[in-house]
Amino acid sequence: MIRKKSKDIFEDNIKVFPLILKIINAVSYFSSLLFIALLVYEYGFIISDEIRADLHLVYKAIWIVYLVSFGVNFTLSYENTKQETRYFGWILDILLLSTLIPVIFYCPESGYMMYLWKILHSHYFMLVLLLLLSLQNLSAGITRLLGKRTNPSLILAVSFFVIILIGTGLLMIPKATVNGISFIDALFTATSAVCVTGLTTIDVSTVFTTLGQAIIILLIQIGGLGVMTFTSFFAVFFMGGSSIYNQIVMKDMVNSKSLNSLLSTLLYILLFTVVIEALGAFAIWLSIHDTLNMSFEEEVGFSIFHSISAFCNAGFSTLQNNLNNPLVLQNHNMLFLVISGLVIFGGIGFPILVNLKEVLFFKVRNLFYLIIRKPYRIQHKKHLYNLNTKIVLLFTFILLFVGTALIALIEWNNSFAGLPVADKLTQAFFNAVVPRTAGFVGVDITTFMPLTIFITMLLMFIGGGSQSTAGGLKVNAFAVILLNLKAVLKNSNRVEAFQRTISQDSIQRANATMMIQIVVLFVAITIITFLEPDKSFTAIVFECISAVNTVGSSLNLTPSLCDMSKYVVIILMFIGRVGILTFMLSFIKPVSNQNYKYPSDNIIIN
């Protein structure tokens, strides 16, 4: 009887354990959100010492919640905790436990242990640790949401929307601006930053403080790489056993070849970003050092801001009038070339960068074997460059070469008049690069000839490469449409390129993307023309193309738009960054494969 009663109590406890875990995890998620909110409040608002002391008490309470959460999960669900935590997650947990050392032990009087004790007792160490734990917690929540088989397109769209709302709130905190900012301007700027567009209704250089500009560049970095890239990285890097469906969704979002290479693909994306942006920032610093009357710290901040903005194809600048500022417009060709290079690297796409890395490593390895005279280990591959790489690089080169030549020819004695020859060539190249889709301003584009403005619109419409920081129709889709047109004109039943047959799915998606983009543009242009009857129609068309393709160039129309027109442009930027086809798929339920087929018939086309 006693044994039976003990067994019943044990079974009841087993049933209670999942409930306890759910409650603890829910409290942990709430604590993560609360900590980030309080951190913003402390450093974004002007507060008294008493309130700051109260906040520090709340931080300690959140720290206790994390300790309890770890202890409960480790005790009641050891196997799951072990399976779902990677080595780096364990490092965070060990650091969390190490913060108990200053609580248990007194500070040593000397030696390395004294310095370790002081670091662990440091308030800033605690804040950084709590921030990493909060990000890990929230990322885990998002990945579990993916595991519920929610529409990935909808999750992507909602993620961008949430980040935009958070960015709007951050830009409205008192310490972010000099004299405050309206909600519509904050929303417009946050959307433009997250959607890496560059259109602004206010002057970034004079309205925002250093903190505000830091928030903008953080939003640009998150938006450029993609919200899901960051959350996927945190989830996969710090967590282990997410569901197979979860991993498949993330694999498709970052274009990983397999589930096994998911983490390496995420690492490559972040590594490429950090390395290219760091090299770009150093090159920009070299180009402006001791020329802009800035301190060393201001030069470093300027370089980092513009490097991230350029690589993410955002087009934001901390200079008044963007790069059309007299301080850099002339005799700074290196600055314009470095920014152009960053825009190109960011715009060709991460899959292309990964493929180029593989080609480079392959050739370096073969060269090494050739030098050490081991020819039998040299490998031979016929197709080093995949089809996407060949198409993107070829069409990018063609667009840049033709664009540069046409702009130089048309504007040589017009808007470029009075500039040295080197500056003219640099500005021609720069103005062929930035419409795809960076939005930086060199020479004032309002002085361009109508034909140059039309060429700029075409370049904006095409945009950069797929899976990149750029927007637009995308070079890949544009190439497929042209190749399909070539096949139709030749009466061929296959669309081919570089000894490969392009799939019917790719052709359908390219045509659908272009058609949807044209329809969206038509609707937006119609609405803004109705709302702004006194504005130039050319300027409105230019503005809409720039917004939906996340370019950021404008014929000085953005600041003069009414609030309703600004909302239309905000929607265009959002749709352009999420992807027109992705945005539509987030609202449309996919049709399952049908096991029947109607008889085919022809439609009279011409």
Give the model's pLDDT for residue 228: 53
Give the model's pLDDT for residue 327: 86
pLDDT digits 0-9 by tens, 263-294:
666 777 788 888 999 999 999 999 998 888 88
Give the model's pLDDT for residue 9: 47
Say if residues 147 and 245 touch (Cβ distance below 8 Å).
yes
Residues 391-396: what's their mean pLDDT? Answer: 90
| Backbone angles phi and psi of 229, in degrees to 5 | -65, -45
Residues 296-313: what's their mean pLDDT? Answer: 92
Please report which confidence band the pLDDT of residue 259 belongs to, taking 50, 70 and 90 as the band edges.
very low
pTM of the predicted protein model: 0.82
CB atoms within 10 A of CB 4: 8
Lowest mean pLDDT among 296-310, 374-388, 422-436, 537-551: 374-388
| Backbone angles phi and psi of 85, in degrees to 5 | -120, 125
> Residues 6 or more apart from 475 whose CB is under 8 A from it?
391, 392, 395, 396, 399, 462, 463, 464, 465, 466
Residues 456-476: what's their mean pLDDT? Answer: 85
Give the model's pLDDT for residue 538: 93
Please report which confidence band the pLDDT of residue 438 belongs to, taking 50, 70 and 90 as the band edges.
confident
Strand partners, 208: 177
pLDDT above 50: residue 478: yes
- CA quadruple 432, 435, 441, 442: dihedral, nearest 10: 0
pLDDT digits 0-9 by tens, 517-536:
899 999 999 999 999 999 99
Lowest mean pLDDT among 19-23, 230-234, 239-243: 239-243
256, 249, 248: which is closest to 153 by C-alpha?
Answer: 249
**Residue 591 DSSP SS3:** coil
CB atoms within 10 A of CB 111: 9
Q: Which residue bears the tokens 């180029």?
A: 356
Give the CB-side neighbour count of residue 169, counting CA atoms within 13 A.
Answer: 9
Chain centroid offset of residue 23 CA:
34
As a whole number, the mean pLDDT across the chain is 82
Give the model's pLDDT for residue 19: 75
Tokens coding 524: 């937006």
Give the model's pLDDT for residue 212: 92
Say if residues 555 and 539 touch (Cβ distance below 8 Å).
yes
Residues 458-480: what's their mean pLDDT? Answer: 85
Rg, C-alpha atoms of the chain: 27
| Amino acid in the structure at residue 567 | Y
| Residue 147 or residue 424, greater confidence | 424
pLDDT above 60: residue 251: no
| Residue 596 or residue 47, greater confidence | 47
Cis peptide before 291 (omega within 30 of 0): no
